[in-house]
Amino acid sequence: MAQCCVACRKTPPEVSLKRCAKCSVTPYCSRDCQKADWKAHKKVCGKGGSTATGSPNDSNAPMADTMLSPPKGLDQPITLPFTRLDNGTWLHDRPEKDVYRLLIDAYRLRAEDNYNLEGKADDLYGGAPDGLKGLKRFLRLAGSRAGPLPSWWNAEKQRECEDFGMDSSQFQNLRSAVGKSDIIEHYGDPRFPMQLRMFAEAVYGRGPGGQDGTAMRKMMASMEQGTAGPGSQVASTIDTLTGNTATMYSAGRNQ
């Protein structure tokens, strides 16, 4: 079911939806509807940045098309991240520094996966002082693909991204390795490593260890959009490095 105004329940194209300016989550079609819903909405507005019933730090939290991802770590989180990954627009319409952060962390996590799964000891893992050379290769490869980088990307922006990665005050410091647990802690989203890995797969043309994440990406996108079928949808994932499993639920929608 399409997203609707929480007050009058009308949906596009009948109405145009805008999100609450304070929490950037709850959709309304008009100021009148927002005012009518304020008594109820003010109790949750700005608390956790999500209308979902679970915490973003809970791997069993419901997935919903109104959930912002990630809840921290970026200047401007987004909705429907797996849908954007599936249509190749995950990096589009984001602030420049957020794009730099995501590119660097997608590269760093993939380098960690390559070392653990395939024994590839490139850059930091091979004794280099930083991962700059590897990042440059990753960015050149991303630039050769059709679509994953935003339209404003050019050689100057690539240099800015590289410089951002060499700033030791940033989490994305290329002098440090990063693992899945570090990503989850920094961004506050147990699904965020999956997003980074799926983007890196789009760049490299293969997942870590030669895996193909296409089916999982499409299923996660369907769950976000509520098109995977009626009721609550469930997806179980396995971390190939640890063997740990996580179960994710989509929010049930009335058809």
The residues, ordered by sequence, that sit 6+ positions from 196 with a Cβ below 8 Å of its Cβ are 102, 105, 106, 109, 110, 183
Which carries the bigger pLDDT value, residue 144 or residue 19? Answer: 144
Name the residue among 51, 97, 96, 68 with its Cα closest to residue 195.
68
Sorting pLDDT into bands at 50, 70 and 90, what band is 5? confident
Q: What is the pLDDT of residues 121-134, one digit of tens each?
A: 888 888 999 999 99
User: For residue 51, what pLDDT is reported?
Assistant: 35
The β-bridge partners of 62 are 249
Asked if pLDDT for residue 200 goes beyond 70, the answer is yes
The residues, ordered by sequence, that sit 6+ positions from 249 with a Cβ below 8 Å of its Cβ are 60, 61, 62, 63, 232, 233, 234
Spatial distance between the Cα atoms of 168 and 85, rounded to a whole number of angstroms? 29
Name the residue among 75, 88, 99, 90 with its Cα closest to residue 161.
99
Which carries the bigger pLDDT value, residue 47 or residue 154? Answer: 154
The whole-number average pLDDT for the span 207-226 is 91
User: For residue 18, what pLDDT is reported?
Assistant: 79
Asked if pLDDT for residue 245 goes beyond 70, the answer is no
The region of weakest confidence among 86-100, 155-169, 235-249 is 235-249
Spatial distance between the Cα atoms of 221 and 13, rounded to a whole number of angstroms? 22
Q: What is the pLDDT of residues 21-42, one digit of tens each?
A: 776 678 888 888 888 888 878 7
Spell out the domain ranges in the chain.
1-47, 86-250
The reported pTM is 0.69
Q: What is the pLDDT of residues 72-86, one digit of tens each?
A: 999 999 999 999 999
Asked if pLDDT for residue 1 goes beyond 60, the answer is no
Q: Are 104 and 123 within 8 A, CB to CB?
A: no
* Residue written as token pair 């730090």: 57
Which carries the bigger pLDDT value, residue 22 or residue 2? Answer: 22
* Residue written as token pair 């079911």: 1
